[in-house]
Structure 1
């Protein structure tokens, strides 16, 4: 009888306040991640590192992140305590992130600004930052499946988190726009000062929302055993034997590649290829995330089933294919059209992200004692694939004669391929894999304003 009551409580829709408090819990990760992917490669090349060395710094962070997600996923499944892991990761992120963009501290201590020392220094802090980032990400993502069994509420939680991801990104680009306008970068010290202020303000805003999350979110009952099985843990082989696991893993990895690779090359594209003003490297991304925010809010009011998840993901993928084609072909003389393209990119990003994360929650279903492993292993694929993709692109980037400044003779730079071709191809494959899935999604009514816990 008690198990039946607990099943009913877990199947009820989650209240609005709980949704909002959960949604803001990833703000610190999101705002620092936006800075990481949008400005890290640009920052490192602007202060004098080669494209390959900048890619090494990025790759070191991504590898550390990928390995840490597996490690933390196993620990969280074994011991629980989501909020403790979340808080510890947030502290590590806040302490280390300013050093990633704050200048080469070991270089100052050793009085040596050699390329090797700089690369090792930035790579070390990048790895530390990403370890903390992974602890927060895995604990926050895996909480969704333990908060509720209601599939619509799970989508709403994912959608709310995605909406606040957009808020975090908009906050970053708002900060960056002001900093780039106020502080003029004429020397290396000026460049470091620009990004240092961006990092400090980002950390402050993110930490405020982490506090709201910890005050307003209860520790999920991951180990209470919804069906009375308190101590049972799910073996890794259980997931490896499920075809859906591999399908969801591929779709999630490709979706993250679309978002992260496009974000990494957007600033290069508007500044180098389109020769737009410096403020555009904050304004164009801001438009993308405004549109994503609006779409994420609208997606919260939909009752989800298998066909709708597939249809909305497909719509986002098709939009990205058209946007990628436009990015590759857009001439510098028509650079203002990038603002129109950014609107559709924002819509596509939201459609693909919300539905991909929801597919992950469908995979987990009621197998809550393995949810952290699923989130961790999928994130591992995301981080490693993204790091390797950016490393390969940057390797060609450094040897490309187009990047050296000859934009007038050809539209097809490595930047255009990174921002246009890679996301479009990943979207196409993701859509194809999505329609091979069998998603058993119980249909619940959409949320209404009267829902309370």
Structure 2
């Protein structure tokens, strides 16, 4: 079911971008996608537990499909609205930073709502089929918050502006802002920006997936700390989220201090530093180093994500292309490569697990380190391409 959802999401993303650019009705498409997300997400968690049959499987796949199509439309329309409604590059950067801050707040809200609901009327420590009504309640609460937020969003949308943007274009295109003879797929700049965004997302995803497994892996070498693993697995990602949240707030004030490329380079440096610290080895006697690494990961994910999205908005605004297709290509690259990398990493895992006692440590150190280097290399390529004489 999850695989089917990922496939649908990958296919719907470029289609959503094409439809948005063809019609230009970004607000209307966003509203339609929001309805699909609200309906699909609610229905996924509304069915009472029963034996898995073909009819039940079809029910879930159809609702997941509805949700993923709506999600693709909402994501692309929301991103492409940023360069459309921004007054300037500074305004676009502010909106991007605020958007990322809101996404971190959403993640924390989901965790808090889930924690509160699951603690009500606890019959056993294990979470099982009897708790289906709790997850239904969680889904409905989150959906209500989402619908309410969307209503405020539509009420707050203003007009369209187009001045004050930093030029992010190849030298041969400087005098051809609206040259339709040069398709955006022929632009090296777009691919470098897409790689920067992909590297940022992949770095965050790999740490999100493998950090808990790495913490569990560390406990196998120190039997006296097994009882603390459950708490550490919960608190380390929380510290990373808090660091990411605070950083995203500070990024709102970056304009006039340094540009997006420097911000991205700084974020990549923090990411590389976290990979190096993990590679050197974190002592099992204390978790303080883990929390330092979590802070570095949170700062890296926030800065690189905001910077890459700001650069994407610059490319859209200063090249005269439709934002829908540009954002869909950028996010499609992220989904395609991220899924492939995670699948490759899983297939490299040793069987039995004891043959590779430091497998997840190596993933967070070497794989995440290489991803950071790819992002940094893409940023350097972008700098060379846009400043060539």
**TM-score for the superposition, normalised by structure 2:** 0.80
Cα distance in 1 between the residues matched to 2:265 and 2:146: 32
- Report the alpha carbon displacement of residue 375 of structure 1 after superposing the two structures with TM: 0.5
- Which residue of 369, 372, 384 corresponds with 2:324? 372
1:228-269 Cα distance to aligned partner (Å, 9 max, x none): xxxx99869611221111111111112111122322334444
Residue aligning to 1:140: 78
1:303-339 Cα distance to aligned partner (Å, 9 max, x none): 258x732222112112112223444543554345322
Residue aligning to 1:206: 146
Residue aligning to 2:263: 312
- Which residue of 49, 67, 90 corresponds with 1:129? 67
Distance change in 2, residues 1:426/1:333 (3 Å):
same
Residue aligning to 1:83: 27
**Secondary structure of the residue that 1:302 maps to in structure 2?**
coil
Distance change in 2, residues 1:288/1:187 (3 Å):
closer
* Equivalent residues of 2:217, 2:357 under 8 A apart: no
Q: Which moved more, 1:263-272 or 1:345-354?
A: 263-272
Cα distance in 1 between the residues matched to 2:119 and 2:276: 32
Distance change in 2, residues 1:388/1:242 (3 Å):
same
Root mean square deviation of aligned Cα: 3.4
Cα distance in 2 between the residues matched to 1:281 and 1:318: 25
Residue aligning to 2:242: 290
**TM-score for the superposition, normalised by structure 1:** 0.70
**Secondary structure of the residue that 1:437 maps to in structure 2?**
helix
Count matched residues.
362
1:429 and 2:374 aligned: yes
Cα distance in 2 between the residues matched to 1:70 and 1:234: 22
Cα distance in 1 between the residues matched to 2:338 and 2:86: 31
Cα distance in 2 between the residues matched to 1:243 and 1:314: 19
Cα distance in 2 between the residues matched to 1:429 and 1:271: 28
Residue aligning to 1:53: none
Distance change in 2, residues 1:219/1:148 (3 Å):
closer
1:215 and 2:160 aligned: no
**Secondary structure of the residue that 2:322 maps to in structure 1?**
helix
* Equivalent residues of 1:173, 1:285 under 8 A apart: no
* Equivalent residues of 1:63, 1:387 under 8 A apart: no
- Report the alpha carbon displacement of residue 273 of structure 1 after superposing the two structures with TM: 5.2
Cα distance in 2 between the residues matched to 1:194 and 1:64: 28
Cα distance in 2 between the residues matched to 1:205 and 1:271: 34
- Report the alpha carbon displacement of residue 85 of structure 1 after superposing the two structures with TM: 1.1
Alignment of 1:352-371 (within 5 A): 352-371=304-323
- Report the alpha carbon displacement of residue 270 of structure 1 after superposing the two structures with TM: 4.3
- Report the alpha carbon displacement of residue 430 of structure 1 after superposing the two structures with TM: 0.4
Residue aligning to 1:389: 341
Alignment of 1:107-118 (within 5 A): 108=50, 111-112=51-52
- For structure 1, which runs of at least 5 residues remain unmatched after alignment? 1-56, 223-231, 442-453
- Report the alpha carbon displacement of residue 352 of structure 1 after superposing the two structures with TM: 0.6
Cα distance in 2 between the residues matched to 1:140 and 1:304: 26
* Equivalent residues of 2:195, 2:375 under 8 A apart: yes
- Report the alpha carbon displacement of residue 63 of structure 1 after superposing the two structures with TM: 2.5
1:65 and 2:17 aligned: no
Distance change in 2, residues 1:132/1:348 (3 Å):
same
* Equivalent residues of 1:162, 1:350 under 8 A apart: yes
Cα distance in 2 between the residues matched to 1:262 and 1:98: 29
* Equivalent residues of 1:63, 1:384 under 8 A apart: no
